[in-house]
Amino acid sequence: MLAYIGLFGSLALLVYLTMRGVNLLISAPLTALIAAVTNGLAFFPQTANDDQANFLTSYMNGFTSFVGSWYLMFMAGAIFGKVMEDTGAADSVSKWIVEKIGVKYATFAVVAAAAVLTYGGVSVFIVAFSVYPMAISLFKQANFPRRFIPAALGLGSVTFTMTSAGSPEIQNWIPIEYLHTTPYAGWEVSIVIAVFMAVGGALWLNWMIKRAVKKGEVFIERSTDPVVDETRKLPSPILSLVPLLVVLLISFIFHDSLGTSALIVALTSGCIMAYLVSFKYSKSVSATLAAGAMGAVVAIANTAAVVGFGGVVKATPSFVATVDLMTNIPGNPLIGGAIAIAVIAGLTGSASGGQTIAMPLLAPHYIDMGVNTEALHRTIAIASGSLDSLPHGGYVVTTINSVCNEKHKDAYLPFGALTVIIPIIGTIIAILLFSIGM
């Protein structure tokens, strides 16, 4: 019993501390240590038996493996965002959008930009870096509260695009290996769910913003924001879109052959293109590159701290028992699979992590039962993108804290509404549609 209390209690404490604004580099290892101690894990590798997991190795393996896999992508993404800001490209595109469709649709423009990049193959972790400069400019012109920017980025990145049929994101591809399906599995239902999440989420977000504005909330500038000079000449909005299109095109072309490494090529090419078309509008190349690199270090450190927590959690006996329980839920296999994936993704703070852990156990069991693998694929994919967005999730921390520089207590409520509640409802609708034979 103590082991389970430690497992779920440490998670609850991490969520609480995150919401209170405690630095993740402190709260993540601290709560991971609680989970380790209550589950009987040794602290050091030297004090552990040969076949026994220990806190230090489990935490640091999770931390360093994430940094090793993602640092260059984070750096390229952060620099690209800064380059779009420095050259004036972000301001140019945002002003063009405001002129063409009006400031009241600024939110939808941010969601659409994030969605296009995500469905085009740019990792959800990187999309926020790329779109944020344009988002901050749009929200400022519309005078919308900036605490809703993470929600707009999340809606466009980790809901209807990340888990839809045909998406190149890893959350749509992991089930293929175990279920022998295709990226387009359950596409008919996927279209319905994607439309529901996109439209429903956008309308809900717009309602929340209008409600906040009526209460007197406005856009509050910060000293760290890009300085907007109204007299500054800006590049053509059409040319300013070219770097984004280059990132999208190169990522799409090389996604299958290079995987996530395609992002390094795509984002670097985007930076080069931004300077080629807008160099005369830039202010300081060296300062821009340095700021982007430093931003990437902060972002990846915060995210890796949470991944380290997940590494310790996965090593605990109570987590292993929980996974066994979740993967053997009786009744409708679609319901059981959805719950199992969602809960495990919530515990690890990662949609792909939840799938990777659960799929080797779920797939053989459900295939033997004769479950429709396409329905299972789509249900699991959608469900994985729900509880992974609890306050401690890696993407959540990166987007709210590191990219947007917001506090969880201000930004998470709208963010969670769109990235947790909307996907949960979408999962339920998908199960109902598959159950009636759609």
Tens digits of per-residue pLDDT, 112-136? 888 887 876 677 777 887 788 888 8
State the pLDDT at residue 226.
Answer: 62
The residue written with tokens 């240590």 in the block is 33
pLDDT band per the 50, 70, 90 thresholds, residue 382:
very high
In degrees, rounded to 5, the angle at the alpha carbon of residue 328 between the alpha carbons of residues 322 and 330 is 130
In degrees, rounded to 5, the angle at the alpha carbon of residue 418 between the alpha carbons of residues 421 and 373 is 60
Spatial CB neighbours of 272, under 8 Å, sequence gap ≥ 6: none
State the pLDDT at residue 345.
Answer: 87
pLDDT band per the 50, 70, 90 thresholds, residue 59:
very high
Whether residue 95 has pLDDT greater than 80: no
Residue 42, strand partner residues: 54
Q: How far is residue 33's CA from residue 192's CA, in Å, rounded to a whole number?
A: 43
pLDDT band per the 50, 70, 90 thresholds, residue 231:
low
Burial class of residue 26, CB neighbours in 10 A (0-12, 13-18, 19+)? exposed
Burial class of residue 155, CB neighbours in 10 A (0-12, 13-18, 19+)? buried
Per-chain mean pLDDT for the chain: 86
pLDDT band per the 50, 70, 90 thresholds, residue 410:
very high
Whether residue 189 has pLDDT greater than 90: yes
State the pLDDT at residue 379.
Answer: 95
Residue 54, strand partner residues: 42
In the chain, pLDDT over 90 holds for what percent of residues? Answer: 27
**Cα separations in angstroms, 339 against 86, 343, 346, 373:** 45, 6, 10, 17
The residue written with tokens 């921390």 in the block is 397
State the pLDDT at residue 200.
Answer: 95
At residue 77, what is the residue type?
G
At residue 212, what is the residue type?
A
Q: How far is residue 363's CA from residue 368's CA, in Å, rounded to a whole number?
A: 8
State the pLDDT at residue 376.
Answer: 93
Residue 385 phi/psi, 5° resolution?
-95, 30
Tens digits of per-residue pLDDT, 287-298? 888 988 888 888
At residue 233, what is the residue type?
K
Tens digits of per-residue pLDDT, 272-323? 998 888 888 887 888 888 988 888 888 888 878 888 888 898 888 988 888 7
**What would the two tokens of residue 66 be?**
């994430």
The residue written with tokens 């896999």 in the block is 69
- Rounded to an integer, the average pLDDT of 25-38 is 91
pLDDT band per the 50, 70, 90 thresholds, residue 438:
low
Which of these, 410, 337, 390, 422, lies nearest to 8 by C-alpha position?
390
Q: How far is CA 37 from the centre of its chain?
A: 30
- Rounded to an integer, the average pLDDT of 385-389 is 90
Which of these, 194, 98, 97, 210, lies nearest to 155 by C-alpha position?
194
| Signed CA dihedral, 417, 419, 424, 430: sign only | positive
Whether residue 51 has pLDDT greater than 80: no
State the pLDDT at residue 227.
Answer: 59
State the pLDDT at residue 60.
Answer: 93
Whether residue 91 has pLDDT greater than 90: no
The residue written with tokens 């420095």 in the block is 86
Q: How far is residue 322's CA from residue 343's CA, in Å, rounded to a whole number?
A: 9
Whether residue 228 has pLDDT greater than 60: no
State the pLDDT at residue 418.
Answer: 96
Tens digits of per-residue pLDDT, 347-368? 888 888 788 888 888 888 888 8
State the pLDDT at residue 66.
Answer: 82
Q: How far is residue 348's CA from residue 28's CA, in Å, rounded to a whole number?
A: 12
3-state secondary structure the chain: CHHHHHHHHHHHHHHHHHHCCCCHHHHHHHHHHHHHHHCCCECCHHHCCCCCCEHHHHHHHHHHHHHHHHHHHHHHHHHHHHHHHHCCHHHHHHHHHHHHHCHHHHHHHHHHHHHHHHHCCCCHHHHHHHHHHHHHHHHHHHCCCHHHHHHHHHHHHCCCCCCCCCCCCHHHHHHHHHHCCCCCCCHHHHHHHHHHHHHHHHHHHHHHHHHHHHCCCCCCCCCCCCCCCCCCCCCCHHHHHHHHHHHHHHHHHHHHHHHHHHHHHHHHHHHHHHHHHHHHHCCCHHHHHHHHHHHHHHHHHHHHHHHHHHHHHHHCHHHHHHHHHHCCCCCCHHHHHHHHHHHHHHHHCCHHHHHHHHHHHHHHHHHHCCCCHHHHHHHHHHHHCCHHHCCCCHHHHHHHHHHCCCCHHHHHHHHHHHHHHHHHHHHHHHHHHHHCCC
